[in-house]
Amino acid sequence: MVSVIGVGTWQFGGEWGQQFSQDEVDAILDKAKELGINLLDTAECYGDHLSESFIGSYLSRRNRDEWVVATKFGHHFHERFTRTDHWAAEDVVKQLDASLKALQTDYIDLYQFHSGPDAAFDNDELWTALDKQIQAGKVRHLGTSIGSNENLHQTEASTRVNSSAIQVVYNRLDRAPENQIFPSCVQQDLGVLARVPLASGYLSGKYKPGAVFDETDIRHRHNRESTLKKLQEVENIRHNEVPAGMDMAKWALAWCLKHPAVTTVIPGCKNPAQVEANASAAELISDNHPQAWKD
Ligand SMILES: NC(=O)c1ccc[n+]([C@@H]2O[C@H](COP(=O)([O-])OP(=O)(O)OC[C@H]3O[C@@H](n4cnc5c(N)ncnc54)[C@H](OP(=O)(O)O)[C@@H]3O)[C@@H](O)[C@H]2O)c1
């Protein structure tokens, strides 16, 4: 059972224009806990197991069992914005052990194939090795974080490979999963983690068309023209769809959760105030707030 709002922790790896301290991570996670959030999404390559290490230190001083920890496999981190792919079964098992060590835990709740190619996914040896990790108690559930949000091949194979959740890019600016991915998830009864639910922060409403990012921020590497178009679209959405006075990040997360296929959203958070704003999106999906939607 996961909270409808989780915390995405790519940010803790240092690729979003900010290096984190353990105290800052502790404050974010304590705020999440206080607000009823129990789901953390991390990965092997958010820094070299760095995001996992921050979480691991935190969990070692709190109650591990109160959290659902999702991490991923398939890459080695080298330096900021540089990783290489490593999908061989034996390498993945080594990555799993490194993740367990960094997370200071003896089990991972959800272990996800991290946006790899179909050729890597279609390797039965990999899934057999992962099944053995479940038998050994190191992994509770397998998941697939699809790279393209139209990857029906990997989505449809979920049940066959014993992967019980799909992580997919889904937000008000990118609705592609509604066409084929979500129907397949519903048909197979898969959990769905909507990632990048704020469109990398563009849907927070705080950036205007023409916004420029520091080169230590991943958004510096986004295509400028496409960012401009997204930010112009955000202006339209704010004008036409978001009720006056409503925090747009809150609205954007609730918008994702309105889709019945979506189990949870995992916005990346950089401070406790963002966690608080994001958690408040849950209020809008209760029956008491029909006025949140203009459509
Ligand atoms: N391949 C994969 O599996 C994959 C790929 C991408 C992401 N993910 C996972 O999905 C998570 C979420 O995606 P994401 O972090 O890329 O994008 P996102 O959640 O759409 O955007 C995160 C950014 O939005 C801003 N933000 C967050 N809450 C806010 C609020 N309440 N008000 C204003 N701004 C707010 C923050 O940046 P600023 O404050 O600097 O604007 C934050 O860094 C990641 O952390 C990661 O765990 C997985």
For the segment 225-246, what is each residue's pLDDT rounded down to a tens digit?
999 999 999 999 999 999 999 9
What pLDDT shows up at residue 102?
Answer: 98
Please compute the mean of the pLDDT values over residues 143-152 and round it to a whole number.
Answer: 98
The answer to whether residue 290 scores a pLDDT higher than 90 is: no
The answer to whether residue 287 scores a pLDDT higher than 90 is: no
Residue (of 274, 236, 204) closest to 37 by Cα position: 274
Neighbours of 291 (CB within 10 A): 9
The answer to whether residue 72 scores a pLDDT higher than 90 is: yes
Tokens of 18: 């900010």
What pLDDT shows up at residue 244?
Answer: 96
pLDDT over 90, % of the chain: 96
Helix, coil or strand: residue 164: strand
The contacts of residue 186 (CB under 8 Å, 6+ apart) are 260, 261
Among the atoms of ligand 1, which is closest to the Cα of residue 147? Answer: 1
The answer to whether residue 221 scores a pLDDT higher than 60 is: yes
Please compute the mean of the pLDDT values over residues 149-164 and round it to a whole number.
Answer: 98
Please compute the mean of the pLDDT values over residues 263-269 and round it to a whole number.
Answer: 98
Neighbours of 210 (CB within 10 A): 10
Backbone angles phi, psi at 176, to 5 degrees: -50, -40
**123 vs 290, residue with greater confidence:** 123
The answer to whether residue 294 scores a pLDDT higher than 60 is: no
Residue (of 184, 171, 196) closest to 257 by Cα position: 171
The contacts of residue 10 (CB under 8 Å, 6+ apart) are 16, 42, 43, 46, 51, 268
For residue 155, the Cα-to-chain-centroid distance in whole angstroms is: 17
Q: Whose CA is nearest to atom 19 of ligand 1?
A: 267
Local structure of residue 287 (DSSP, 8 states): T
pLDDT bin (cut points 50, 70, 90) of residue 291 is: low
The answer to whether residue 13 scores a pLDDT higher than 60 is: yes
Give distance in angstroms: CA of 271 to centre of ligand 1: 12
Measured distance between the N- and C-terminal CA atoms of the chain, rounded to whole angstroms: 30
| Residue 59 near ligand 1, beta carbon < 6 Å | no
The answer to whether residue 220 scores a pLDDT higher than 70 is: yes
What pLDDT shows up at residue 286?
Answer: 77
| Residue 39 near ligand 1, beta carbon < 6 Å | no
| Residue 6 near ligand 1, beta carbon < 6 Å | no
| Residue 167 near ligand 1, beta carbon < 6 Å | yes
- Cα gap 164→131, rounded to integer Å: 13
What pLDDT shows up at residue 292?
Answer: 61
